[in-house]
Amino acid sequence: MEGIIGSLVEQIIVMFVLMALGFALRRVKFVTEQGTAQLSDLVLYVANPIIIMQSLMMPFDPVKLGYAGYCAVVTVIIAVIAIAISRGVWRDRRRIAQFGVIFSNCGFLGIPLVQGMIGDEYVFYLSCCNACLVAFMWTYGIWLVTDDVKQISIKKIVLNPCIIALVLGFICFLTSYEPPVVVMDIFDDLANLNTGLVMIVLGSYLAGADIRSLLKHRLIYLVSALRLLAIPAIALAILVFVPLVPLEVALAVIIALATPSAAVTAMFAAKFGRDYRLGAGIVAITTLFSLVTMPLLVIAAEMLL
C-alpha cells in the first residue's frame, strides 16, 4: 500500500507543479487564451490518441482478451450508471458537472499507479477501461457538453483521432503487430507531451478563474463526492459480486474508475464555449481529494476481492 500512496503523491505533486507553471505563464501573458486553446487541441488530437494506441499495442493473448472484455463490460456499465446518476441529480442542467462525474482521469493517474502497484502487464486492462471511456467521451460526452446531436455525426466519430487510435491499437493487439523501433520512439516522444501540456493548459484556464469563488462552489464538492466515492463504490460492488477475474485485473479496473475527473472536462468546456473555469476547478479539486480517496478505495478492494 505504501507503493500506491507514494505513486499517487508523486503524481499529484507533478500535476500541481505543472498546473502552477501554466497558471504563472498565463498571468504574465506568456501564454494567451488563444495559445491555450491551441495547446488544448494539440493534446486532444495528437498526444492523447498516441497514448491510446500505444497502450493497446502488445502481443495477442486469448486470456487477456477475455479479461479485457470483462473490464470493458464493467466500465460500460459504470459509465451508464454514472450518466443516470448525474442526470438524476442535475437533469439537463450543470452539463460540465455531469461530465466531471462521468469521466475519470485514468490515463494520466491510473497508468503509473497500476505500474507501481501491480505491474506493467496490467496497464493493458486499465487501457481497455480507458478505451471505453474515450468512446463514450467522444460521443455522449460531446453531446453532453454541446447539447447538439449534430456534433456526434457518424462521420465525425469515424474520423476522430481518438476513435481511429482505438481501432488501430486494438488491431495491433489482435494481430500482435509491433511497429518498427523508430515509429515507437516517435510515439514515445509524442505521448510524453501529454502530461505536461494537459496540466499547463489547466493551469492557464485556472489563471482566468476566480479561485476563491471556485473553492466556495458547493457544486464542485458534490461532483467530487460522486466522482471519487459513489461511482468507484458501485464499481467495487460489481467486482465483488461478479468475481470473474484475478485480483490484479480487478484492482486495475478500480484504479481506472476511482481516479479524479478527466482533464478534458476543462478542455471540452473551453472548446465548446462552456464554463471552462468551472471545469478546471472540478479537475483541480477532485485531483487533490483523490490523494485521500484512492488509497482508501484500493484498501477496500484488497480486503473485499
Residues recorded for the chain: 305
Residue 14 in this model has a pLDDT that exceeds 60: yes
Q: What is the pLDDT of residues 55-106, one digit of tens each?
A: 788 889 999 999 999 999 999 999 999 999 999 999 888 999 999 999 998 8
Nine cell digits for residue 222:
458534490
- Select from 16, 98, 1 the least CA-distant residue to 288: 16
Q: What is the pLDDT of residues 120-162, one digit of tens each?
A: 788 889 888 988 898 899 899 999 999 888 887 777 777 888 8
Q: Which amino acid is at 173?
A: F
pLDDT of residue 2: 57
Q: Are 129 and 71 in contact (CB under 8 A)?
A: yes
pLDDT of residue 241: 92
Q: What is the pLDDT of residues 268-292, one digit of tens each?
A: 998 898 988 899 889 888 888 887 8
- Select from 134, 85, 111 the least CA-distant residue to 255: 111
CA dihedral 273, 261, 72, 271 (to 10 degrees): 20
pLDDT of residue 111: 75
- Select from 238, 258, 227 the least CA-distant residue to 74: 238
- Select from 260, 130, 126 the least CA-distant residue to 202: 260
Residue 1 in this model has a pLDDT that exceeds 60: no
Burial of 150 by CB count in 10 Å (0-12 exposed, 13-18 middle, 19+ buried)?
exposed
pLDDT of residue 4: 60
Residues 24 and 147: their CA atoms lie apart, in Å, by 33
Three-state secondary-structure class, residue 112: helix
DSSP summary character for residue 305: -
Residues 179 and 149: their CA atoms lie apart, in Å, by 37
Interacting residues of 70 by C-beta distance below 8 A, sequence separation 6+: 244, 245, 249
Q: Which amino acid is at 209?
A: A
